[in-house]
Amino acid sequence: MKRKNVKKRLFVLIILLALFFLIYYSQGEMINSTKSEITKSSLDLMQVENERNSSIATLNLIQSQLAENNSELRQLKSGDIYYLHDPTMQEVTDFINDYGSASLQNLLNNAKSQGIRCAYVMAFLTSGNNYPLIGFDTIDKGMIYFEAGTRYQVIPKIGSAYTQCVVGSPYSIGVFDIISDIVCIW
C-alpha cells in the first residue's frame, strides 16, 4: 500500500508541478500582455495629450481673434473708425504741417485715420499732364487743396495755368499747362 500511496503522491506531485508551471507560464504571458497594453495605453494617452495641447493652442488663437473682432465691432458701433468730419482751416494747416511731405496716398490715409474728411483731387491739364492733390472742405474757408510732398496750397481754376494757381507762385509759368478739368473723389 505504501507503494500505491507513493505512486499517487508522485502523480499528484507531477500534476501540481505541471499546474505550477502552467500557472507560472500563464502569469508571464499575462504580465507581458499587460505590459503591452500599458505601453499602448501610454502611447494613446500621449497622443490624446498632444491633441489636447493643440486644441488649447487653437482655442487661444481663436479667443485672441475674437477679442480683436469685438474691439473692432465696438469701434464700429460707436462710429469712431468711420466718423469723418469736415475740418477747420486750422486743423488742415496743422495736418499739412505735420504730414504734408508724405505721399498723396499716405496723406489720404492719415487724414481719414484722424477723422478728417478729405478728397483725392485730380487737376487735368490741356497738355495731357495732370496734378494729383488732396482737398478739404473746411467749415470756415470752403474747399482748399494742397499738393502732396510740397505742401503748396493750390487754388485750381479751369482755364487757368496750373502754375498760376499755386499760392505764392513757386513754379515758373508753363505755356501748355492750362487746367482743363478738376475731379474730386471723396
Q: Computed over its alpha carbons, how large is the radius of gyration of the chain?
A: 44
Q: How far apart are CA 56 and CA 48, in angstroms?
A: 12
Determine if the pTM surpasses 0.85: no
Q: How far apart are CA 33 and CA 78, in angstroms?
A: 66
Cell numbers representing residue 175 in the block: 505755356
pLDDT digits (tens, 9 = 90+) for 124-169: 999 888 999 999 999 999 999 999 989 999 999 999 999 889 998 7
What phi and psi values does residue 155 have, to the nearest 5 degrees?
-120, 85
DSSP letters along 9-23, please? Answer: HHHHHHHHHHHHHHH
pLDDT digits (tens, 9 = 90+) for 76-94: 666 555 678 999 999 999 9
